[in-house]
C-alpha cells in the first residue's frame, strides 16, 4: 500500500501541502486530481524523494520510501526530462541500470518497451530527433523500463493525441492488473472517470474527496430528471426531503435522499402537465470535483507547487 | 546496487557520450597531430641543416689540389673532415674555375699554402667558409709542427677527443632552462585545462537541469553519487584527452632529443601531471557546485566567477613565483589548496621545495578536495532541482537535506 500520511510542505509563506493523507493499494489505478496549485506535483515529488516534506511521511508497504523503494518506483515528472542527445535504447538501458537492473535485463526490457510503445523504428534515434508525442512515449518507457512495483506519474496524458492516449491508458490498466500501484495526476476528468477505480481529489494541500469512483458518484441519493409539458412551476411544491438541484426550460433535476419514494414527486410533476421524460442521472466526476474543491475551481495547468 | 557501481555507471555515460562526439574526437586528434609535428620541427630542421652542412664525419669533402700535398697534410685534412677526395688540377685558374662552376669541388688548396672556397649562398650561409677555415687551420698546424720537427703528431692533435667535463656546485644550466620552460608553459596549460574542463562539467550539469532529466536521476541515485560520477567521468575525459594531446608530442621529444633533455625533465612532466589531476579534482568539484545554481548556459560564466578568480590568483602567483620560487610567500602559496597546483608546479620546476613542503602540500590539497566535495554536495543538492532563475548560494545551502 502506498500511503501519504499527514504530508506537509511549505515554500516560504505558501503552504503547498497541509496534512495530505490518502492511500493507493497494489493493483489499484488512482487518479490524483486537484485544481492549479493544489499540491499534486509537490506530493508526488515528496513520494519519489525529489522534494522533502516538512512533516508527515510517504510509505510503501508500511515503511517510509527509501532509495531501495525508489529504485522499484517508476516516475514521470511533470516537466518531462530526458537526455536530448542520447539514443532512445541506450537512454532506457542507462535509466534501467541506474534503477538497479543488470545490463542484459535492462537491454531486453528496453527493447520490449520500445516495441510495445511503437518506437521500434526510432530506437537508434536521439531523443531530440523525435516528435513530442514520441518523446512522451519514451518518457513513459523510462518510467516502466525497470519493471517498477509502484508507478507515480505526473500528468502522463498531457499533450497526447487520442491514439497515444489509448496506448497510455491500456498500459496503465495492464500495469495495475499486474499488481502495480498506479497513481497519476490529470486534469482530464472524463478520462480519469473512465480509467480509474479510485480518485483522490485535493485542494489547498488537503484531501477533499477520495475513494472508489462508483461509490462517489452514487453517494448522496438519486438524481431524478423530470421533463413535463407546461414548465417547471411544480418544482415549488416538492414533497418530503426531495431537493431541487437544477431547472431549465425543458425540465428539472431533483435529488431524492436514500430510501425516499419517487412517486410523490412524480405526482406533483404530473399535475402540471404530461410527463415527457423521466430518468435517473448519476453525477459526473467533474461535478463532484467542482463541488469538492469549490465552484470557482477549474482544471487547468498545474503550477510548480 | 553499490555506490561504486552507480558512480561507475554515471561516469561511464559521461565518457561514452563525449567520445561519441565526432567534433571532440577529431579536434583532439588534429591538435595532438599538430603538437607532435611541432615537436618534430626542430629535428626536421636539424636534419635538413645537417644535410646542407655535410657533417665532416660522414660526408666526403672533395678538394681540388694544385701542386703536391704531402702525407702529413693529407692526414691532417682527413682528421679534420673524415673522408676526403683529392682532385689534382693544373693550376690556380683551373681550381678557381671548378669552384666557380660548383663542379663538385668543395675547396681548393694551392701548393699546400693557401685555401680557396666559393662564396656561399642559400639558407645556411657559412658552411663553405667553415670548411675552408678548418682546412686552413689544419694546414697551418702542420706547418707549425714541421717547423718544430713534430709533423707526425698533427693528425692526432686534430682528431683529439676532449676529456669529460662535469658541472659541479650550482644547478646544471640546461636543467634550469628546462625548469623555466616547464614552469612557464605548465602554468599556462594548467590554468587553461582546469578552466576548460571545469566549464565542460558545468555545461553538463546545466544540460541535466535544463532538460529536467535530473529529476529522474535524483529519484534513483543519491545526489552525492550523481555529482561524484559526473566529476569522475569528466575527469577521465580530461585526463584522457590531455594524455592524447600531449603524450605523443612528449614521447617524440623524449625519443628524438633524449641526449639533449636535461636531467629531471621526466620528473617535472610527472609533477605537472600530478598537479593537473589534483587541481582538476579541486576546481571541478567547486565548479560542479556552482553550476548547480543555474539553469541556462549563458549564466555559466557569471556563476563560475568565484572559482575562476581563485584559479586566476593561483595562475598569477605561479608566474610571480617563477622569479622567487623559494620566497616565504611562495612557500605559503604552495601550501594553500587553491594556489598549490600552480605554485608547487613552479617551485618544483625552478625552486627547491623540501620533501615536507611537497608532501604537505599534496596532503593539504587532498584535504581541500574533500572539503570542496562536501561543500559542493550540499550546494549541488540544494540547487540541482531548482530550475528557472539563478539560485542564491544561501538558498541552496539551506535547501539541502544533507
Tell me which chain B residue has its CA closest to the CA of residue A91: B13
Predicted TM-score (pTM) of this structure: 0.72
Tell me which chain A residue has its CA closest to the CA of residue B382: A51
The residue of B220, B387, B401 whose CB has the most chain A CBs within 10 angstroms, and thus the best one to mutate to test that interface, is: B220
Quick check: is B297 in a domain? yes
Relative to beta strand A29-33, strand A198-203 is parallel
Residue B180: what pLDDT?
79
**Using beta carbons and an 8 Å cutoff, which residues of A are at the interface with B?**
45, 48-52, 67, 70-71, 73, 75, 77, 79-86, 94-95, 97-100, 142
Interchain pair A75, B219: CB under 8 A: yes
Q: Are residues B213 and B355 in the same domain?
A: yes
Relative to beta strand A14-24, strand A150-154 is unpaired
Q: Are residues B86 and B224 in the same domain?
A: no
Tell me which chain A residue has its CA closest to the CA of residue B385: A50
Residue B166: what pLDDT?
66
Quick check: is B164 in a domain? no
Residue A304: what pLDDT?
41
Q: Which domain CATH number covers B100?
A: 3.40.190
Tell me which chain B residue has its CA closest to the CA of residue A85: B17
Quick check: is B322 in a domain? yes
Distance from CA of B307 to the nearest CA of A (A): 27
* Number of domains present in the structure of chain B: 2
Query: Which residue of A73, A85, A100 is in closest CB contact with B1?
Result: A100
Residues contacting residue A12 through CB under 8 Å, at least 6 positions apart: none
Q: Are residues B146 and B201 in the same domain?
A: no
Interchain pair B212, A77: CB under 8 A: yes
Q: How many CB pairs under 8 A join A and B?
A: 61
* 3-state per-residue secondary structure call for A44-72: HHHHCCCCCCCEEEEEECCEECCHHHHCC
| Calpha distance B72→B80 (Å, rounded) | 12
Q: Are residues B312 and B389 in the same domain?
A: yes
Residues in chain A, pLDDT under 70:
220, 295-305
Residue ranges making up the domain that contains B392: 3-36+172-399
Query: Which residue of B1, B9, B385 is in closest CB contact with A50?
Result: B385
**Chain B residues near residue A80 by CB distance under 8 angstroms:** 212
**Chain A residues near residue B378 by CB distance under 8 angstroms:** none
Q: Are residues B277 and B391 in the same domain?
A: yes
Q: Are residues B192 and B301 in the same domain?
A: yes
For CATH 3.30.70, the residue range(s) in chain A are 220-282
**Complete DSSP assignment for A265-296:** HHHHHHHHS-EEEEEEE---HHHHHHHHH-TT
Residue A138: what pLDDT?
93
Quick check: is B291 in a domain? yes
For CATH 3.40.50.300, the residue range(s) in chain A are 2-216
- Per residue of chain B (402 residues), give pLDDT as tens: 688 999 999 999 999 988 888 888 999 999 999 988 887 877 776 655 454 444 444 578 888 899 888 888 888 888 878 788 888 888 888 888 888 887 778 888 888 888 888 776 544 445 567 788 888 888 888 888 888 887 777 777 777 777 776 656 555 566 667 777 778 888 888 898 888 888 888 888 888 887 778 888 888 898 888 888 988 998 899 889 988 988 888 888 777 776 666 667 778 888 888 998 999 899 988 888 888 888 888 888 888 899 999 999 999 999 888 888 888 898 999 999 999 999 998 898 888 888 899 999 999 999 999 999 888 888 888 787 776 677 888 887 777 654
| Calpha distance A223→B105 (Å, rounded) | 125
Give chain A's end-to-end CA distance (angstroms, integer).
Answer: 25
Residues contacting residue A253 through CB under 8 Å, at least 6 positions apart: A223, A224, A225, A226, A244, A245, A246, A247, A281
Domain boundary among B158, B190, B208: B158
Tell me which chain A residue has its CA closest to the CA of residue B7: A98
Interchain pair B207, A79: CB under 8 A: no
Residue B259: what pLDDT?
65
- CA B382 from chain center: how many Å? 42
Quick check: is B49 in a domain? no
Tell me which chain A residue has its CA closest to the CA of residue B2: A100
**Chain B residues near residue A52 by CB distance under 8 angstroms:** 401
Residue owning grid cell 527493447: A111
Query: Which residue of B211, B218, B385 is in closest CB contact with A83?
Result: B211
Distance from CA of B208 to the nearest CA of A (A): 7
**Chain A residues near residue B212 by CB distance under 8 angstroms:** 77, 79-81
What is the maximum span of chain A, computed from C-alpha positions, in angstroms?
Answer: 77
Query: Which residue of B17, B217, B387 is in closest CB contact with A98?
Result: B217
Q: Are residues B362 and B390 in the same domain?
A: yes
Residues contacting residue B12 through CB under 8 Å, at least 6 positions apart: B233
- In the CATH scheme, what architecture does the domain A2-216 have? 3-Layer(aba) Sandwich (3.40)
- CATH of A220-282 among 3.30.70, 1.20.1340, 3.30.420, 1.10.405: 3.30.70
Residues contacting residue B260 through CB under 8 Å, at least 6 positions apart: none
- In tens, the pLDDT along B119-168 reads 765 444 455 677 888 888 888 888 888 888 877 777 777 777 777 766 56
Amino acid at each position: 500500500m502506498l500511503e501519504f500520511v499527514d504530508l506537509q510542505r511549505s515554500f516560504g509563506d505558501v503552504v503547498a501541502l497541509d496534512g495530505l493523507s490518502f492511500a493507493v493499494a497494489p493493483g489499484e489505478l488512482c487518479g490524483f486530481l486537484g485544481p492549479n496549485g493544489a499540491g499534486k506535483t509537490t506530493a508526488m515529488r515528496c513520494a519519489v524523494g525529489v522534494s522533502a516534506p516538512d512533516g508527515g511521511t510517504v510509505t510503501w508497504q508500511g515503511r517510509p520510501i527509501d532509495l531501495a523503494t525508489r529504485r522499484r518506483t517508476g516516475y514521470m515528472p511533470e516537466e518531462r526530462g530526458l537526455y536530448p542527445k542520447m539514443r532512445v535504447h541506450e537512454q532506457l538501458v542507462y535509466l534501467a541500470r541506474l534503477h538497479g537492473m543488470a545490463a542484459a535485463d535492462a537491454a531486453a526490457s528496453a527493447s520490449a518497451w520500445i516495441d510495445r510503445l511503437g518506437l521500434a523504428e526510432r530506437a537508434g534515434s536521439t531523443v531530440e530527433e523525435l516528435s513530442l508525442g514520441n518523446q512522451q512515449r519514451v518518457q513513459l518507457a523510462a518510467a516502466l523500463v525497470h519493471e517498477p512495483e509502484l508507478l507515480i506519474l505526473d500528468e502522463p496524458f498531457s499533450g497526447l493525441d487520442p491514439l497515444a492516449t489509448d496506448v497510455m491508458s491500456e498500459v496503465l490498466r495492464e500495469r495495475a492488473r499486474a499488481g502495480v500501484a498506479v497513481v497519476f495526476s490529470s486534469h482530464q476528468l472524463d478520462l480519469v472517470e473512465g480509467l480509474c477505480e479510485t480518485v483522490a481529489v485535493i485542494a489547498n494541500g488537503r484531501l477533499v474527496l477520495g475513494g472508489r469512483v462508483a461509490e462517489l458518484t452514487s453517494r448522496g441519493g438519486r438524481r431524478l430528471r423530470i421533463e413535463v409539458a407546461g414548465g417547471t412551476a411544480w418544482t415549488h411544491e416538492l414533497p418530503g426531503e426531495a431537493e431541487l438541484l437544477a431547472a431549465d426550460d425543458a425540465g428539472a433535476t431533483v435529488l431524492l435522499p436514500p430510501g425516499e419514494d419517487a412517486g410523490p414527486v412524480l405526482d406533483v410533476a404530473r399535475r402540471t402537465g404530461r410527463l415527457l421524460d423521466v430518468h435517473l442521472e448519476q453525477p459526473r466526476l467533474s461535478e463532484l470535483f467542482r463541488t469538492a474543491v469549490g465552484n470557482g475551481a477549474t482544471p487547468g495547468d498545474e503550477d510548480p507547487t | 546496487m553499490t555506490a561504486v557501481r552507480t558512480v561507475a555507471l554515471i561516469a561511464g555515460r559521461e565518457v561514452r557520450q563525449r567520445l561519441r562526439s565526432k567534433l571532440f574526437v577529431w579536434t583532439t586528434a588534429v591538435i595532438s597531430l599538430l603538437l607532435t609535428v611541432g615537436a618534430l620541427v626542430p629535428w626536421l630542421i636539424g636534419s635538413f641543416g645537417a644535410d646542407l652542412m655535410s657533417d665532416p664525419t660522414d660526408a666526403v669533402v672533395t678538394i681540388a689540389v694544385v701542386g703536391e700535398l704531402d702525407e702529413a697534410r693529407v692526414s691532417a685534412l682527413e682528421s679534420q673532415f673524415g673522408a676526403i677526395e683529392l682532385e689534382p688540377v693544373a693550376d690556380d685558374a683551373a681550381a678557381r674555375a671548378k669552384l666557380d662552376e660548383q663542379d663538385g669541388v668543395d675547396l681548393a688548396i694551392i701548393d699546400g699554402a693557401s685555401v680557396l672556397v666559393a662564396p656561399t649562398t642559400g639558407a645556411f650561409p657559412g658552411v663553405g667558409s667553415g670548411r675552408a677555415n678548418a682546412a686552413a687551420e689544419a694546414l697551418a698546424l702542420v706547418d707549425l709542427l714541421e717547423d718544430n720537427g713534430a709533423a707526425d703528431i698533427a693528425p692526432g692533435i686534430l682528431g683529439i677527443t676532449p676529456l669529460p667535463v662535469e658541472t659541479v656546485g650550482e644547478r646544471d644550466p640546461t636543467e634550469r632552462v628546462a625548469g623555466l620552460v616547464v614552469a612557464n608553459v605548465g602554468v599556462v596549460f594548467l590554468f587553461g585545462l582546469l578552466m576548460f574542463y571545469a566549464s565542460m562539467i558545468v555545461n553538463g550539469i546545466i544540460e541535466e537541469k535544463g532538460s529536467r532529466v535530473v529529476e529522474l536521476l535524483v529519484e534513483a541515485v543519491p545526489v552525492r553519487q550523481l555529482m561524484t560520477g559526473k566529476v569522475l567521468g569528466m575527469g577521465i575525459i580530461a585526463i584522457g584527452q590531455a594524455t592524447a594531446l600531449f603524450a605523443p608530442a612528449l614521447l617524440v621529444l623524449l625519443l628524438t632529443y633524449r641526449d639533449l633533455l636535461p636531467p629531471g625533465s621526466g620528473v617535472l612532466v610527472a609533477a605537472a601531471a600530478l598537479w593537473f589531476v589534483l587541481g582538476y579534482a579541486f576546481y571541478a568539484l567547486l565548479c560542479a557546485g556552482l553550476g548547480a545554481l543555474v539553469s541556462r548556459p549563458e549564466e555559466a560564466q557569471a556563476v563560475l566567477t568565484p572559482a575562476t578568480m581563485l584559479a586566476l590568483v593561483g595562475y598569477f602567483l605561479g608566474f610571480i613565483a617563477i622569479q622567487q620560487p623559494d620566497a616565504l610567500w611562495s612557500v605559503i602559496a604552495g601550501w594553500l589548496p587553491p594556489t598549490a597546483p600552480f605554485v608547487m608546479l613552479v617551485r618544483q620546476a625552478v625552486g627547491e621545495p623540501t620533501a615536507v613542503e611537497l608532501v604537505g602540500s599534496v596532503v593539504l590539497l587532498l584535504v581541500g578536495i574533500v572539503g570542496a566535495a562536501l561543500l559542493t554536495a550540499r550546494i549541488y543538492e540544494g540547487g540541482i532541482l531548482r530550475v528557472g532563475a539563478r539560485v542564491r548560494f544561501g538558498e541552496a545551502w539551506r535547501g539541502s537535506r544533507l
